Amino acid sequence: MTVLFGQLFTGISIGAVLLLIALGLALTFGQMNVINMAHGEFIMAGAYTTYVLQQSITGAGLSLVVALPVAFVVAGTMGALLEVLLIRRLYARPLDTLLVTWGVSLMLQQLARDIFGSPNVQTRAPELLTGNVALPGGLTVANNRLFILVLALAAVAALTLALRLTPLGRRIRAVVQNRDLAAVSGIATSRVDRTTFFVGSGLAGLAGVALTLLGPIGPTMGTNLIIDAFLVVVVGGIGQLKGSVIVAFALGVLQATGEYLTTLSVAKVIVFVAIVAFLQWRPQGLFTLRTRSLA
């Protein structure tokens, strides 16, 4: 039971990281059908925001608390600028958005190298998040993993409530279901797109802050994460938040089980084979979006 619980929590913690990485992408990719390859660099921006704040704020705990909203705003602003300057002109050409945002990601990586240097840098974790929580039966849970799990669930809850209860959320859902009908109903779809991109990119910034607790950060850290984020969104179903949540934790548990039984490389192969098999059986993803489109 000890081993089983340990592996289960490891899988849940991996799923929490995947969920934080993919949450913002589920919002932007699901609503606007934009293949944003620069999403990983918004995660990097959030991580470097934490690093910069720690240079001026001595307390690691206080700097982490301040970094969460600041990273959200920094990454969100970068996403809003990207939408206004480039993506807005390419909504009808999704493949062009892939190429453009890939170029933007390379530019942001080089900018990070010019400012912070090529070597990875390390941030200080708060003392509260460096130990373990002892549970009955000799089980231990890492504090930093537990914090990331709570942060991911809080982000999902906040986003769900915003989409369901606020006027902005209702406008976003209207645009997702039928953009043309929303436009003729008086909804400023361009403003909704800009706001959605801000929120989605801001969530990527939060993921960057969380990832500083797990290891060093560098200019190419986003490149290693963007594929996993897209897999979670696609398998969960385009524009389906609940699908992304379920798939993130399912893939995390599957990967943790594979790592325990085999090796890290083999576990990655098992995850990819499972994804391919699932998409062959259900190419639309775990959940599908019901719309009022006549097409």
- Model confidence over 1-45: pLDDT tens digits? 667 777 788 888 889 988 988 888 888 876 677 888 999 999 999
Q: Residue 215 has which token pair?
A: 């290891």
> Does residue 283 lie in a domain region?
no
State the chain's maximal CA–CA distance in angstroms.
61
> Does residue 274 lie in a domain region?
no
> Does residue 12 lie in a domain region?
no
Query: Which pLDDT value is given to residue 284?
Result: 84
| Full residue range of the structural domain in which residue 157 is found | 23-221
pTM recorded for the entire structure: 0.90
Range in 122-131, 146-155, 227-236, 280-289 with the lowest mean pLDDT: 280-289
> Does residue 91 lie in a domain region?
yes
For the chain, what is the domain count?
1
Q: Is the dihedral of CA 256, 257, 260, 265 positive or negative?
A: negative
Report yes or no: 37 and 82 within 8 Å, Cβ to Cβ. Answer: no
> Does residue 276 lie in a domain region?
no
Q: At 65, is the pLDDT very low, low, confident or very high (cuts 50, 70, 90)?
A: very high
Query: Which pLDDT value is given to residue 292?
Result: 47
3-state secondary structure of 111: helix
> Does residue 40 lie in a domain region?
yes
Range in 96-105, 109-118, 214-223, 286-295 with the lowest mean pLDDT: 286-295
